[in-house]
Amino acid sequence: MTTLSRLYVVKIGGQVIDDPVACADFLHAFAALPGPKVLVHGGGKLATRIGEQLGVTSQYVQGRRITDEATLQLVTMVYGGLINKQLVARLQALGCPAIGLTGADMNLMRAVKRPVKEIDYGWVGDLTAEGIRVEAFMRLVEAGEVPVLAPLTHDGNGHLLNTNADTIASCVAVALSAHYRVHLVFCFDQKGVLRHPHDPDSVIPLIRPADMPALMAEGALRDGILPKLENAFAACRAGVEQVLIGPAYALSALSTETSTRAFGTIIRL
Amino acid sequence: MTTLSRLYVVKIGGQVIDDPVACADFLHAFAALPGPKVLVHGGGKLATRIGEQLGVTSQYVQGRRITDEATLQLVTMVYGGLINKQLVARLQALGCPAIGLTGADMNLMRAVKRPVKEIDYGWVGDLTAEGIRVEAFMRLVEAGEVPVLAPLTHDGNGHLLNTNADTIASCVAVALSAHYRVHLVFCFDQKGVLRHPHDPDSVIPLIRPADMPALMAEGALRDGILPKLENAFAACRAGVEQVLIGPAYALSALSTETSTRAFGTIIRL
């Protein structure tokens, strides 16, 4: 049995992208991460602001956000163009051989337009790990390239689709886990998963499935963290070695094996 | 001596991109072109229209267009995002394994920000064939990918740069000519180089350097075609096998060796 290499899949959201200092710090830390790696980025307030200037307003049906034609064009411009290519140019300047991609490029991520049931979500793509073209990702990664993925997939019929960045990160992580020991990192706006939601320093360093009943009994894990944990365990059951949830500014803790600093919360089986 | 493969570098401009029918026809013909190939696209009226909606107006100094920060963001969105990714998604649907890229991606095209002399052109990049990372292009092309290049380069210091699409096409063609028999195709809005500028059917099928004095003496080659021919001869002297200038709708003439139809004007040494 050969030992698989570790590969990081790191997801950042709008709160990092919108903050110039946080983004610069993050990019330095990401560029310094050793070994093969993939970056997945979300949007940010920029798309909303540019959308307002263009007169594109978010459409909602029964409280659910709809991706109409104008919104799809907006996110293709802002996520697939502006944010993605600026991140790539800045990573290149840091010596990180980035390549900015959507799911249409190299047919990397093919999704299914969400079926219309009660709500027509519009140009939204539902992605699964089966939609990831692993061979193409591996070809890039093995050549030393660092894919930087915008939250866009395609349907194979000529349409781009708006797809949740967390979902993309999870699907890519799971799909690559047959060939790498994948560490899936979600950067978010707290120091980790908190035992006491109002104490920002009450980070739980490690959560395994057996810890869940006690954590839930003591009333921890509020504020929408439960679905994140369920998704993390699902990714681990599908092959990901561990999921890390922590703040973008602490990512540099992962770049040295001997670091005494910790990065957020580790979730594993 | 081994025989080199033929590789097409095809450039389309805004007049094709802006016309849905012309663009669809072009993409079918491009997808059908045999062998390795690269597509370079320009902008189109879309950037102007979106720019107007965003309040980004073109700045001019002494009659020269300036790429200020807002304009760079606009072209990064529209060229690097919207147009590029839509072309890629549509080519994928036609079975063409497209990958949309700027010069920052894989450090494919590094340019120099135009030095400020009398005019500060802003974020404009001057590219030469030496700025093309041939090894990375070859890796993509040899793997069967079809690069789709937006008219953006980077400076290696974290900035994207606005770069003329014709220049990108020529530089990529020249840089790859050490490894392929490169045919550089410029799609434009006439049937070819015209002997009589007001007769759209007076296409000159072949122009070689020795033909130039007579063509100039008879007053042909007006309407800005002379610089195009000079650039074409320069590309040929630098290694490109031939340059073709013709209409996008006729590109399909190149996809069969036995085609009885011609494509525009051939320029070679």
The pLDDT tens digits of the residues spanning B84-126 come to 999 999 999 999 999 999 999 999 999 999 999 999 999 999 9
Instruction: Check which CATH number belongs to the domain holding B61 and give it.
Output: 3.40.1160.10
Contact of B268 with B211, CB cutoff 8 Å: no
Residue A1 lies in a domain: no
pLDDT along chain A (269 residues), means of 10: 88 92 95 97 88 88 87 96 98 98 98 95 97 97 98 98 97 98 94 90 95 88 84 97 94 76 90
Whether pLDDT at B64 is above 60: yes
- For residues B202-223, one letter each, b for 16 or more C-beta atoms within 10 angstroms of the residue's C-beta and e for the rest, the string is ebbeebeeeebeebeeeebbee
DSSP for residue A255: S
Of B54, B145, B156, the CB nearest to A50: B54
With the C-alpha atoms ordered B27, B29, B35, B38, is the resulting torsion angle positive or negative? negative
Question: Can you tell me the distance from the alpha carbon of B183 to that of B189, in angstroms, rounded to the nearest whole number?
Answer: 19
- pLDDT value at residue A260: 57
Subunit contact A89:B53, Cβ cutoff 8 A: no
Q: What is the mean pLDDT of residues B138-155?
A: 97
- pLDDT value at residue A257: 65
Is A70 buried (19+), middle (13-18) or exposed (0-12) by CB count in 10 A? middle
Helix/strand/coil for A44: coil
Whole domain around residue A150: which residue ranges? Answer: 6-267
Q: Which residue from A212, A105, A234 is spatially nearest to A167, judged by alpha carbons?
A: A234
Question: Can you tell me the distance from the alpha carbon of A203 to that of A251, in angstroms, rounded to the nearest whole number?
Answer: 15
- pLDDT value at residue A61: 84
Look up residue B134 and give its two tokens.
Answer: 């041939």
- pLDDT value at residue B22: 93
Question: Can you tell me the distance from the alpha carbon of B236 to that of B184, in angstroms, rounded to the nearest whole number?
Answer: 9
- pLDDT band for position B202 (50/70/90)? very high
CB of B158 within 8 Å of a chain A CB? The answer is yes
Q: What is the mean pLDDT of chain B?
A: 93
Tell me the backbone φ, ψ of residue A29, rounded to 5 degrees. Answer: -65, -40
Q: What is the value of ipTM here, to two decimals?
A: 0.95
CB of B53 within 8 Å of a chain A CB? The answer is yes
Residue B119 lies in a domain: yes
Q: Which residues on chain A are in Cβ contact (under 8 Å) with B50?
A: 54, 77
Of A55, A102, A157, the CB nearest to B93: A157
Residue B215 lies in a domain: yes
pLDDT per position as a tens digit, B240-253: 999 999 999 999 99
Subunit contact A85:B86, Cβ cutoff 8 A: no
Q: What is the mean pLDDT of residues B36-45?
A: 93
Residue A101 lies in a domain: yes
Whether pLDDT at B254 is above 80: yes
Within 13 A of A35's CA, how many CA atoms are on the CB side?
A: 15
- pLDDT band for position B256 (50/70/90)? confident
- How many domains, in total, are found in chain B? 1
Helix/strand/coil for B245: strand
Spell out the long-range contacts of B45-48 with Cβ–Cβ below 8 A and sequence spacing 24 or more.
Answer: B45/B14, B45/B18, B46/B17, B46/B18, B46/B78, B46/B82, B46/B83, B47/B74, B47/B75, B47/B78, B47/B79
Contact of A268 with A212, CB cutoff 8 Å: no
Residue B30 lies in a domain: yes
Q: Which residue has the tokens 């120099």?
A: B112
- pLDDT value at residue A219: 79
H or E element, residue B191: none
Size of interface A-B (CB pairs under 8 A): 119
- Among A48, A71, A92, A137, the residue to mutate for chain B (most B Cβ within 10 A): A92
Look up residue A202 and give its two tokens.
Answer: 């009450």
A134-142 and A165-176 are packed helices; what angle lies between their axes, rounded to 10 degrees?
A: 80
Look up residue B181 and give its two tokens.
Answer: 């028999």
CB of A24 within 8 Å of a chain B CB? The answer is no
Angstroms from B142 CA to nearest CA on chain A: 12
Question: Can you tell me the distance from the alpha carbon of A32 to that of A37, in angstroms, rounded to the nearest whole number?
Answer: 11
- pLDDT value at residue B44: 79
Residue B225 lies in a domain: yes
Contact of A248 with A26, CB cutoff 8 Å: yes
Angstroms from B138 CA to nearest CA on chain A: 13
DSSP for residue B118: S
- pLDDT value at residue A148: 98
Whether pLDDT at B235 is above 70: yes
Residue B216 lies in a domain: yes
Question: Can you tell me the distance from the alpha carbon of B61 to that of A8, in angstroms, rounded to the nearest whole number?
Answer: 47
- pLDDT band for position B258 (50/70/90)? low
Subunit contact A160:B85, Cβ cutoff 8 A: yes
Q: Which residues on chain B are in Cβ contact (under 8 Å) with A100?
A: 101-102, 104-105
Q: Which residue from A162, A144, A164 is spatially nearest to A152, judged by alpha carbons?
A: A162
- pLDDT value at residue B30: 97
Subunit contact A102:B86, Cβ cutoff 8 A: no
Angstroms from A136 CA to nearest CA on chain B: 10
- pLDDT band for position B259 (50/70/90)? low
Quote the pTM value: 0.96
Question: Can you tell me the distance from the alpha carbon of A154 to that of A149, in angstroms, rounded to the nearest whole number?
Answer: 13
- pLDDT value at residue A158: 98
Q: Which residue from B92, B72, B251, B86 is spatially nearest to B151, judged by alpha carbons?
A: B72
Residue A130 lies in a domain: yes
Could you count the other beta carbons within 10 Å of the beta carbon of residue A211? 14
Q: What is the mean pLDDT of residues B33-42?
A: 96
Subunit contact B81:A86, Cβ cutoff 8 A: no
Angstroms from A214 CA to nearest CA on chain B: 47
CB of B6 within 8 Å of a chain A CB? The answer is no
